[in-house]
Chains A and B, each alone.
Chain A
Amino acid sequence: MLESLVQLLFGHRPVLFSQGELQFAAGVGSYVAAAAGVAALAMAVAAYRTAPRLGWRDRWILLGIRATLLSLLVLALFRPVLVVRAAVPQQNFVGVLLDDSRSMQIADFGEGTPRSGFVTDQFGAADRGILGRLGEKFVVRTFGFASTAARVNEERPLTFSGSQTRLGPSLDAARQELAGLPLAGLVVVSDGADTGGTALDPTLLRLRADGIPVFTVGVGQERASRDIQVGRVATPRTALKGTSLMVDVVVSHSGYAGETVTVDVEDDGRIIGSQQVRLPADGSPATARVRVQADDAGPRVFRFRVAPRPDELVAENNAREALVDVRDRQEKILYFEGEPRSEFKFIRRALDEDRNVRVVALQRTADNKFLRLGVDGPDDLVAGFPKTRDELFAYRGLILGSVEAAAFTGDQLRMIAEFVDRRGGGLLVLGGPRSFGEGGWAGTAVADVLPFVLERGPSEPALERLTVRPTRAGALQALTQIAATEADSAERWSTMPGLTAVNRVDTVKPGATVLLTGAREDRGERPVLAFQRYGRGHVYAFAAQDSWLWQMHASVAVDDLTHEYFWRQLLRGLVEGVPDPVELTTMRDRVEPGERVSLGVSVADAGFVEVNDATVVAQVTGPDGAVTAVPLQWSGEASGQYGGAFPTGAPGWYEVRIDATRGERTLGSSVAHVRATAGDAEYFDATMQATALRRLAEETGGRFYTPDTVSGLPEDMNYTGRGVTTVEERELWHMPILLVLLVGLACAEWAYRRKAGLT
């Protein structure tokens, strides 16, 4: 609108004024006219000076108007011209990049017309539309782009089916193909939704270095009228079989404020979780916490879905998939209990039916006498608590029961701290008369890793009776959710029998999260279960001494499994995410068919000391069963970090198995899965990204257009100053704005004279 007004008043497109140089083509007549103007001004001064009934103010205003009018007239007679460099017709090239991705099928251009309709209409044929007008002055090279740019021709027409938009690589490809040609500029017609995840900055740098302006045309609405989108899903990459995961699903929307939608989780067509969420005001996302049970082993694709509404703009962005490698293996936890007590028995019982978590129990029954249960062999733990790092670090979790710090050597205490910090293991410390401060743990290496602040000095156990309840953080954690839904869990917690504690623990560390609190009979609340990350690992501290009452108390029904459920969840949480000595990570769990997969592997020995001289080989099994060996190299950037990549081919699953050896010794292996399949990222955040397109244009010296303003593109392109150009002079004396101003000033003088009583 503003641009049209400027063009109407100034007679030329704004781009001419930004590119051109103002000059005057004055002749002899111009100077004569200037002299006449000065004379006319002098006469006006004389006339107004002697005019009766005029005050000084009136005189100055009238003279000012007359002087301005005469100045404009003289300016016009000095023949101002705009000197511009215009492209020589058919001597320059223009690269037109047309978005060929799926998001162009979204029907938000006009009434039910897809974005691709505009592209086809204006850029689909060389003899019509914008492309036709560009063709009148330029040699046009048309590219279709999605993940990269390729020339559009009869063999390769636009299909609007690309599953990925990578703006940077596409511009780079077009720039390279047009390198060496007199290029007036590039035109990008797109919704601007880049789904490649690559930064645009390097491309912008190259375009600026080459002086190539990019003219962008944004297609689509900047804000969807009515749409629901599953925006983000936070799942772990791996999970132990049988684990309950609490997954945060972010649902964004426009046009459905106040409505309640259901987030369903599907695994292979079966619904395995469901949660309702009320949508807040437009623009504010809602987060649903959905419980998902990972019961089937192997690579599982969990699909988080909100049923599409009939009037939604894009139905494809109502579901998002996440790959979780569900591992069916047995994780070992060492439980060291310093005295015979029922907590030991019932925690072990709770894990009886869990085939994926095994508790190796070491109970000190008398001084230097241990009862070993669930050990691997007759010599396992025969001398008590592990004395070497290799022995301790073989476990993924460690539970310390009611045992005093003095039961360990200084090195064993440091080993326990390193178990968390360096090995990345999960530590759980239970309350009891020999635990925490009462057990002399304050000031030890282990005290540093605990989420509780331990008071120094001797402290005698003091009994407190507690009613245990989850905190807000605890209510949202899978770990402390003891029923199917948050509401059911809260109800169940409210009826759980009370426990006792004997440890004075009132303060948690700043980085810790309290999941359960205990209401005392008379003195407020205290933390019962707290959690914190420490180094590579994590630590839980459970301050009560008798959670087994949740099983044995008279108020608990025989078939109630809350105690078992709680401990299974907690101990699974304890080993969740604990690394192996050899740990493989793929940067992404899904790639486009044909795309390369980057691999990262961390390699350490049994004592979790990083190894830089290992032989690390990935065995990649493709969808056709073919196995390819991919050697990985030490990155040189960090100890124990190896990297490599392999290309995918056909769509399907790719299993990557890493084997790391050092000489003859096997350090470990790790398995991960990657899917090669066309993604639906194109439909997410698929509104027209005007900001990105505007930035692309402005930083390269181009301009940003919408379908409403795109008609000026061919003319603007003519004056980029790039390529083969000729100098043109554009007369400015006949700009409509000058006429408007002259007439306006004359009218203003006449009106003022009338007002002042002059004729």
Chain B
Amino acid sequence: MRLRVALAVVVLVAGVVAAAQEGGRFRGRGRRAPVVEPARVDYDGRFAFVRLRYREGGGFFGGDPGWAHDYPRAERNFMRILEDLTLLRVHRDRSNIFTLDDPELGNYPVAYMSEPGYWTMNEAELEGIRAYLAKGGFLIFDDFRGEHWYNFEEQMRRVVPDGRLVELDAANPIFHSFFEINDLDEQIGYYGRATFYGMYEGNDPARRLMLIANYNHDIGEFWEYSDTGFVPIALSNEAYKLGVNYVMYGMTH
């Protein structure tokens, strides 16, 4: 409980700091509709972070919609880590925000969604994300907990009606695609014990994972505050390790 309170404080502070740093892009009061300017990177073959923007179903925090949580510091920090640790050529200081039916989405085969507990879609978005996954795209779902699962599961059922979300263990290749993450119990979730779910292509464990969902976890939050001292370095490290592995997996499987 104490940890949750502490994290809540951190998140609150982080939100203010991030908003201040970005010129108040997501600044707002209450739950007014956010002013979102689509962020885009001209495709040039390099990896760019993609944050998925979905229709609002709630999840506002400090005026930010759920999909925008931790933006942009999370991706900026994460891209620096990716660039420093790996040979991946990245857009370090720029990233994308795409709706699920954005035609540009296909140019980036790895995409990130925050707060899927509030995720809703219209038909066009549904078709867009369904095609993305079927063609080979990889999704990272982050920052959800408790009853958020039900919405996430329901939306995923709409996207892949036959798909089954399965809990992943440490033996899964996604936890060994760059860093060797051998014990998932060491992954202290943001909201409790983190559980990692995935969905295999054709529900066949011999095939690739189409997505990974960090249930009870918020690695984006750790990325965002990794350079502030608000979160333990060890936990930020683990969050980065997960992120790097997810991207490597998504780029190879």
User: Footprint of B on A, CB under 8 Å?
Assistant: 338-342, 344-346, 348-349, 352, 361, 363-367, 369, 371, 373, 433, 463, 500, 502, 545-546, 548-549, 551-556, 558
Contacts and interface: CB of A to CB of B under 8 A. Distances in A.
B178 interface: yes
Contacts of B253: 345
A194 B178 CA distance: 68
A433 B109 contact: no
Given A371-B252, A546-B45, A553 B88 contact: no
A338 B88 CA distance: 10
Nearest to B253: A345
A104 to B, nearest CB: 63
Contact of A545 (B45, B104, B177, B207): B45
B106 A549 contact: yes
A551 B135 contact: yes
B229 interface: no
Contacts of A364: 87
A553 B107 CA distance: 6
B131 interface: yes
A549 B47 CA distance: 14
A553 B104 CA distance: 8
B248 A552 contact: no
Contact of B136 (A346, A361, A365, A367): A346
Closest 10 CB pairs between A and B?
Answer: A554-B103, A552-B106, A339-B87, A340-B88, A558-B134, A340-B251, A558-B131, A554-B106, A366-B86, A342-B109
A371 to B, nearest CB: 6
Interface string B112-141: 000000000000000000111011110000
Nearest to B101: A554
Contacts of A551: 135-136
Contacts of B199: none
23 contacts: A339-B88, A340-B87, A341-B251, A344-B251, A345-B250, A345-B253, A352-B207, A363-B252, A366-B86, A366-B87, A371-B178, A371-B252, A433-B45, A433-B89, A463-B45, A500-B45, A502-B45, A549-B107, A551-B136, A552-B135, A554-B104, A554-B105, A558-B135
A366 B85 contact: yes
Contacts of A373: 252
A346 B87 CA distance: 18
B252 A344 contact: yes
A611 B39 CA distance: 64
B44 interface: yes
A342 B251 contact: yes
Nearest to A338: B87
A344 B131 CA distance: 20
Contacts of A348: 252
A500 B44 contact: yes
B252 A340 contact: yes
A366 B135 CA distance: 27
Contacts of B134: 558
A371 B174 CA distance: 12
Nearest to B178: A365
A479 B45 CA distance: 25
Given A349-B136, A365-B86, A552-B109, 4 more contacts: A339-B89, A340-B88, A369-B178, A554-B106
A463 B89 CA distance: 14
Interface in B65-116: 85-89, 103-107, 109
Given A345-B109, A366-B87, A546-B45, A340 B135 contact: no
A489 to B, nearest CB: 22
Contacts of A369: 178
Interface in B1-60: 43-45, 47
Contacts of A365: 86-88, 177-178, 248
B251 A345 contact: yes
Interface in B167-218: 177-178, 207-208
Nearest to A544: B45
B84 to A, nearest CB: 10
B34 to A, nearest CB: 25
Contacts of A463: 44-45
Contacts of A352: 207
Nearest to A348: B252
Nearest to A554: B103
Interface residues of B, number: 32
A345 B107 contact: no
A38 to B, nearest CB: 110
Contacts of B137: 552
A367 B135 contact: no
A436 B6 CA distance: 53
Contacts of A553: 106-107
B173 to A, nearest CB: 9
B44 A371 contact: no
A341 B135 CA distance: 16
B136 to A, nearest CB: 6
Interface string B237-253: 00000000001101111
Contacts of B136: 345-346, 349, 548, 551-552
A301 to B, nearest CB: 37
B193 to A, nearest CB: 29
A551 B106 CA distance: 9
Nearest to A364: B87
Nearest to B103: A554
Contacts of A548: 109, 136
A378 to B, nearest CB: 13
Contacts of B107: 549, 552-553
A497 B169 CA distance: 39
Contacts of A500: 43-45
B98 to A, nearest CB: 11
A371 B177 contact: yes
B41 to A, nearest CB: 13
Contacts of B178: 365-366, 369, 371
A13 B103 CA distance: 92
Contacts of B103: 554-555
Contacts of A367: 87
Nearest to B207: A352
B135 A556 contact: yes
Nearest to A350: B136
A369 B245 CA distance: 14
A549 B132 CA distance: 12
A548 B108 CA distance: 10
Q: Which of A345, A352, A361 has the most chain B CB atoms closer than 10 A to its own CB?
A: A345
A338 B89 CA distance: 11
A546 to B, nearest CB: 5
B178 to A, nearest CB: 6
Contacts of A549: 106-107
Contacts of A554: 103-106
Nearest to B173: A373
A402 to B, nearest CB: 9
A433 B90 CA distance: 13
Contacts of A339: 87-89
A500 B87 CA distance: 20
A338 B86 CA distance: 11
A338 B44 CA distance: 18
Nearest to A433: B89
B189 to A, nearest CB: 26
A558 B201 CA distance: 14
A338 B248 CA distance: 13
Contacts of A556: 106, 135
B200 to A, nearest CB: 13
A198 B247 CA distance: 66
A400 to B, nearest CB: 15
A105 B209 CA distance: 68
Contacts of A502: 45
A222 B103 CA distance: 67
A554 B105 CA distance: 8
Nearest to A463: B44
A340 B105 contact: no
A310 B81 CA distance: 77
Contacts of B88: 339-341, 365
A342 B208 CA distance: 14
